[in-house]
Amino acid sequence: MSVNQSIKPITSEVKNNHLIVGGCDTVELAEKYGTPLYVIDESTLRKVCKEYVDAFKAYPNATVLYASKALATSAIFKIVTQEGLGLDVVSGGEIYTAYKAEIDMSTLMFNGNNKQEWELEAAVDVGVGRISADNFHDIELLGKISKSRNKAVNILLRITPGIDCHTHEYIQTGHLDSKFGFDLTQVDEAVKLVTSDYPLITIKGLHAHIGSQIFDTAGYIDEAKILANELARLNKEYSLNLSELNLGGGLGVKYTHEDNPPEIGEVADVVINTLSGEFKNLGLKNIKLYIEPGRSVISTSGVTLYTVGAEKQVPKGAKYISVDGGMADNPRPSMYQAEYTCDAANKMNNPKEELVTIAGRFCESGDILIKDIKLPSLVPGDIICIYNTGAYNYSMASNYNRVQKPGMVLVNNSQSDIIVYRETLEDLISQDNIPDRLK
C-alpha cells in the first residue's frame, strides 16, 4: 500500500492507551511542546519520497520535484532533497528558504502566475534551474532581467491543457477557465516572442498541472497526450529542440475512510506507459520528465495535536467539543469543506460512544474542524490528534484573532526535534509600529 493510501503516519501505534507516532508518545509531545502542535513523522516522509523515486525509475530520465507550497520549511527541504527530490517553488520566500538551507538551486523549478520582478531576479541570480513561464509578463520580465545580467535563462512554457479534473473548483488548475498558464491558442505567440526578441531565454519544454487531490488517473493520460503532441508540433513548426515535459502533480491522499486515491506506482505506470507510446508515435526521443507532487509527499506524515477545552450540548442537537486551535492553523475545512478524521490520543482504546463535532476556538461560526465524528467521552485536558495535516495546514496558517501560529516538531526513532518554533506574543507585535503622532 502506498503511503498516500494511509490516513495515519506509518509509525502509528498504540501503547498504554496513548497514540505513538515516530516512537514518541503524542500525549507527552503535547505536554512538552504545548498545543496546538504540528507533528511530522520523518519515517513516513522519507518512505513516500522513496516511493516516488522508485516508481519513476522505469522512465530513463525522470525527476520528482516536491511542490513545496504544501509545506515549506528548512528541515522539510533538507529531508526531501536528501531523498533525491528537487523542489517546485512558487515564491521568493520559498526560493530564499531553499537557498538558506543550502539546497542545490539547480534542482529548483520556479512556478506561479504572477511572479514579482524581484522574485525573478532572485531566481536568476541564485541559479534556479528552470522557470515556468506562465504568461507574457513573465517572458517580458525575464527578457529584461537576462539582458541586464547577461545571463542565460532556461524556461518551460506553462500551458492550460483544458482538462477538467474531478476536484474542488478552487484547486482545479488545468481547465480552460483558469488563471494559470497559456491557453493553447496563445502558445505560438509565446514561442515567437521568445525566439525573436529574447536571445538569452531558451525554451526547454512545456509544463502543465491539472489540479489537486486527484483520484482518477484518466486526467494524467489526457494531459500526457496533449503535452507530448504539443511538444512535437512546436518542434516541427519552429525547428525547436524542446526536450522536457513537466506534468505537475495533484495525486490525492486518504483523509477519511471513504477516500480511495490511486497508488503512487499506479500513477507512475499510467504516465510512463502513455508517454512512451506517444513519444514512439511522434518520433520524440530523450525527453526529460518532471513530476511535481506536493500533498501526497507530505500530508500523511503530519498530524496536529490539540487540547480539549469547553463543550456545548445543543438541546436535541449537536455536541460541540472545542479545542485550542482551529481555522487559523487549519483553514481547509472552512475554505474547501475538507474532511478529516481524528482520535483521542490519550484514550485510544476507550469505546467511541459519543457523536461530537470538533469546533475551533476562533470567532467564526464556520470554524469547525470535524463535523459528526464518534469519539470516547471527552473532558477538558484530553488530547485530540487530527490525521493527515502535513499539507496546507502550516503553510496556510494565519494569525487570525491575533493568535500565535503553532510550533512544529519532527519525530523519528523516539526522538523529537523542533523544526518550527511556536510564535510568541512578542512575535505577534514585532512588525507593529506606532507613528510618533499617536504617542
**Domain map (residue ranges) of the chain:** 3-40+300-429, 42-298
Cβ burial, residue 186 (10 Å; 0-12/13-18/19+): middle
Alpha-carbon distance of 292 to 295, in angstroms, equals: 10
In the set 24, 165, 342, 363, the catalytic residue is 363
Q: Kindly provide the b/e burial profile for residues 298-332, where b requires at least 16 CB atoms within 10 angstroms of the residue's own CB.
A: bbbbbbbbbbbeeeeeeeeeeebbbbbbbbbbbbb
* Whole-number pLDDT of residue 316: 85
Alpha-carbon distance of 95 to 104, in angstroms, equals: 11
Q: Is 213 left (phi over 0), alpha (psi -120 to 50) or beta?
A: left
Q: Which residues pair with 13 in a beta bridge?
A: 20
Alpha-carbon distance of 316 to 112, in angstroms, equals: 49
Whether the per-residue pLDDT at 50 is higher than 70: the answer is yes
pLDDT level of residue 37 (50, 70, 90 thresholds): very high
Structure-block grid coordinates of residue 317: 442537537
* Whole-number pLDDT of residue 168: 36
Alpha-carbon distance of 251 to 268, in angstroms, equals: 11
Q: CA–CA distance from 386 to each of 307, 327, 339, 342 (Å)?
A: 11, 13, 10, 4
312: helix, strand or coil: strand
Please indicate whether residue 363 is annotated as part of the active site.
yes
Report the pLDDT averaged over residues 97-126. Answer: 97
Q: Which helix (H) or strand (E) holds 156?
A: strand 153-160
Other C-beta atoms within 10 Å of 188: how many? Answer: 14
* Whole-number pLDDT of residue 172: 38
pLDDT level of residue 79 (50, 70, 90 thresholds): very high
Report the pLDDT averaged over residues 273-277. Answer: 97
182-194: pLDDT as tens digits: 999 999 999 999 9
Helix ranges (H only) for 239-310 are 264-282, 295-298
Whether the per-residue pLDDT at 252 is higher than 60: the answer is yes
Common-topology check for domains 3-40+300-429 and 42-298: no
Alpha-carbon distance of 116 to 138, in angstroms, equals: 9
CATH homologous superfamily, domain 42-298? Alanine racemase (3.20.20.10)
Residues 6+ apart with CB under 8 A from 280: none
Give the pairing of strands 302-313 and 383-387: antiparallel
* Whole-number pLDDT of residue 239: 95
Alpha-carbon distance of 293 to 65, in angstroms, equals: 7
- Higher-pLDDT residue of 51 and 216 is 51
214, 165 in Cβ contact below 8 A? yes
Whether the per-residue pLDDT at 167 is higher than 70: the answer is no
pLDDT level of residue 174 (50, 70, 90 thresholds): very low
Alpha-carbon distance of 168 to 396, in angstroms, equals: 17
Q: Which residues pair with 312 in a beta bridge?
A: 320
Structure-block grid coordinates of residue 224: 500526457
Whether the per-residue pLDDT at 46 is higher than 80: the answer is yes
Structure-block grid coordinates of residue 409: 516538531
251, 214 in Cβ contact below 8 A? yes
Q: What is the CATH number of domain 3-40+300-429?
A: 2.40.37.10
CA Rg value for the chain: 23
pLDDT level of residue 177 (50, 70, 90 thresholds): low
**C-alpha angle 352-353-354 in degrees, rounded to nearest 5:** 105
